[in-house]
Structure 1
Amino acid sequence: MVQDPVASLGFGARRRTSWTAPFTALAGMIATVVALAIGAVLAVFTAIAVAVFALCAGVVVFFAGFALRARRQAVGRNRRADDPAEDVIEARKVGDTWVTYGWERTGR
């Protein structure tokens, strides 16, 4: 008689009925529930970490916007001087060197 080598594969070939079978099934269910609970807790912690990271990034972008706005306004104020000649620095040649005037004004 020829035995089929595939017949011994599968779940039915391994299943043996004994007095420990209900306890094994119960232990498997408990392990499954514990694994699901741990996975759910880790998913919640991951979601909280992503939310905190996004909040910090938002705060950084918010303050970067304030810094850029303040820089733009400061540059605009200096360029809108009433007298354009105030931005010119005077230089004279004294001997072999150039001497500049106007650096000592405030705001430079």
Structure 2
Amino acid sequence: MTQDPFATLGFQNRRRPQGLLAPILWLGGVIATLAALALGAVLAVFTAAAVAVIALFASVLIFFAGLAMRARRRATVRTRRSDDVIEAQKVGDTWVAYGWERPQR
């Protein structure tokens, strides 16, 4: 019966390199760790900058939407003229008035 080489995967059963190869591999692991940390930091800065730009564009969009809503409200609210002028259209040979109300009613 043959023994599976991957059957004992634990911290105590791991082979560690001996001799001149050990410090070189340790140094390579440290360099790889530092490179991964630096790359993660750079990506975090780019992500933060992208979120800031998105927030800036969203705030500008909300500002212009607010201006549009204010302009729409001001355009629809019209006071009635004091000289009682009403709208009228000529339909055929007669004039048809819209919005006319008797003030005594």
Query: What's the TM-score, normalizing by structure 2?
Result: 0.71
Letter in 2 for 1:9: L
Q: What is the alpha-carbon root mean square deviation over aligned residues? A: 2.9
Written as runs of structure 1 = structure 2, the 5 A alignment for 1:1-108 is 8-11=8-11, 12-76=13-77, 79-83=78-82, 85-94=84-93
Structure 1 residue 63, shift from structure 2 partner: 1.1
After superposition, the C-alpha distances for 1:27-73 in whole angstroms (9 at most, x for unaligned) are 01110011011001100110010011001110110011011101111
Query: What's the TM-score, normalizing by structure 1?
Result: 0.69
Report the Cα distance in structure 1 between the residues aligned to 2:33 and 2:86, rounded to whole angstroms: 77
Higher helix share: 1
Question: What is the identity percentage for the equivalent residue pairs of Structure 1 and Structure 2?
Answer: 46
Letter in 1 for 2:80: A
SS class of match (1:10): coil
Structure 1 residue 84, shift from structure 2 partner: 7.8
Structure 2, unaligned runs of 5 or more: 98-105
Report the Cα distance in structure 2 between the residues aligned to 1:99 and 1:8, rounded to whole angstroms: 101
